[in-house]
Structure 1
């Protein structure tokens, strides 16, 4: 049986090293404390090791990789040069207008995937604080239409990193608006395969992520295999003592038919090697930073995977 894997991974602030002259005291480009060449190189090695572990465990690399918290194309170029990618993966990335300068992106196996079309979906919101800019921005949604060469199958992919739940969840209306816009676009894509993945900053049973599963007639258009994982207390990230499954991959019902790529299972890739070295935080992701304290880990999220059979 041929297996394919799709992965989404919030990689926690993948920035180029800061280049700040000694005589200047203004904030660094990354916003990370003492983010230098050594720490950047260590981060790349850590991230490439994640995908080596995925390949070792499954015998294959993901053919599609959605990423979030990427600071630009250059960091992706540095990453795909490394083992296990070895420059065999393509990059799909657009700069967004996010205030922190972090974007979503996609890596893809060039031997298996052809990009047919791509674009970003940009959102503007009214500023809450009137004394600043006239509008507020967030991370773009990355849309692509690809052809999976093995079966000459067209797949539509949306990759997102929705606004966070900071400050008593002031951003919930933004997440609702963005997901409603994605839902409209999905409804208009007929009879083809669709993947929606990302860091939604909401759990699978939250109202927004339940609503997006259905069209205006109440008919189901998407399946969320991560709902069952959440109900069985499987988490991709944590806040204080609370486990969260913000990272998810949703699939159109056509992935559950008997042709082409067929859904097999979903999982959180919470390998022990990616977990915290501190007993108090055992089973949680080994972070790069905890606040301003550098820990030297991988990310504050675990990757999530869906597996397909042919």
Structure 2
């Protein structure tokens, strides 16, 4: 049995440097972000995966992450238990204005990286005075080898919903570009895992469309559709429960002649990483609420899928 996990870790930044002037901006944008809070955050993120290991008896062999800033935070994370420097890193600095990236961790004893790249997107902005470009977080693509099987992994953190969802066209454009790449892989019967914070729920139109090829044939399965339909959420916005964090798999994980088969999907929402405030019971215990430091784990729960060697009769 193997686990594949994704976790939006909510602003994993290095501690802010001491500003030369009180008006100088800091790197993280977080109020009073310092060494103590940073180390506490690192410990908590590592501890989440320790708890997943204790529950499932295995540590995820591949982990997608979002809202990390730079490679150094990842290097310091994988030194901690339960990773113990046995995990490799795939990461590129993106052009995101907040300097947050996506990344991939992998068990070096099980997984080999064949190739990887950052897929960068530029969106033109026009006004009366100038022309320039808006950028967003890269999509991370990795071609991995597990035993004798090749797995193509895409990690995304799509543009957020804000200001009456002005970013919806950007999300659609990015998803369409990913879909083209996935179609090329699917035509060669390749194995694909698309994971991330999509800033959309599983039943939103953009995510529903990506599951199908040009002839409306099913190319991907989203096991988080069923979880969402039964009221399971990974994050919240005011009173609304959301399942933005998802792991979508190619049909090959459900068919025969494959090393790993889909078994189940889960949102990991242990009481230990849930809010201590009874008003927000069942929600993630976040690091910040606005500018107020809470000292929690993240404003998202991690998600994972279980992959096994035996084919099941799971229907999605």
Q: Give the TM-score category using the shorter length.
A: over 0.9
SS at match of 1:46: helix
Tell me the CA shift for residue 25 of structure 1.
1.5
Unmatched segments (≥5 aa) in structure 2 = 310-316
Instruction: Name segments (4+ residues, structure 1) moved above 2 Å.
Output: 20-24, 127-133
Cα distance in 1 for partners of 2:27, 2:131 equals 20
1:294 aligns with 2:293: yes
Tell me the CA shift for residue 126 of structure 1.
1.4
Is 2:19–2:26's contact at 8 Å kept on the other side of the alignment?
no
2:75 aligned to 66, 69, 77, which one? 77
Cα distance in 1 for partners of 2:190, 2:159 equals 28
Tell me the CA shift for residue 20 of structure 1.
2.3
1:173 aligned to 162, 166, 169, which one? 169
Considering only aligned residues, what root-mean-square deviation do their CA atoms show, in Å?
1.1
Encode CA deviations 1:63-94: one digit per residue, 9 max, x unaligned: 00000001010000000000000000000000
Tell me the CA shift for residue 128 of structure 1.
6.3
Cα distance in 2 for partners of 1:180, 1:4 equals 29
SS at match of 2:226: helix
Cα distance in 2 for partners of 1:89, 1:130 equals 50
* Structure 1 counterpart of 2:9: 11
1:23 aligned to 21, 24, 27, which one? 21
1:284 aligns with 2:280: no
Tell me the CA shift for residue 133 of structure 1.
6.5
1:188 aligns with 2:187: no
Residues matched between the structures, number = 306
1:253 aligns with 2:218: no
Cα distance in 1 for partners of 2:127, 2:30 equals 25
Tell me the CA shift for residue 23 of structure 1.
3.2
* Structure 1 counterpart of 2:313: none
The TM-score with structure 2 as length reference comes to 0.95
Cα distance in 2 for partners of 1:128, 1:106 equals 34
* Structure 2 counterpart of 1:113: 111
1:220 aligns with 2:213: no
The TM-score with structure 1 as length reference comes to 0.97
Tell me the CA shift for residue 131 of structure 1.
6.0
Cα distance in 2 for partners of 1:115, 1:22 equals 42
Tell me the CA shift for residue 26 of structure 1.
1.6
Counterparts of residues 99-248 of structure 1 (less than 5 Å): 99-127=97-125, 134-149=132-147, 152-189=148-185, 190-248=188-246
SS at match of 1:166: coil
Inter-CA distance 43–257: structure 2 relative to 1 (3 Å threshold): same
* Structure 1 counterpart of 2:308: 309
SS at match of 2:164: helix
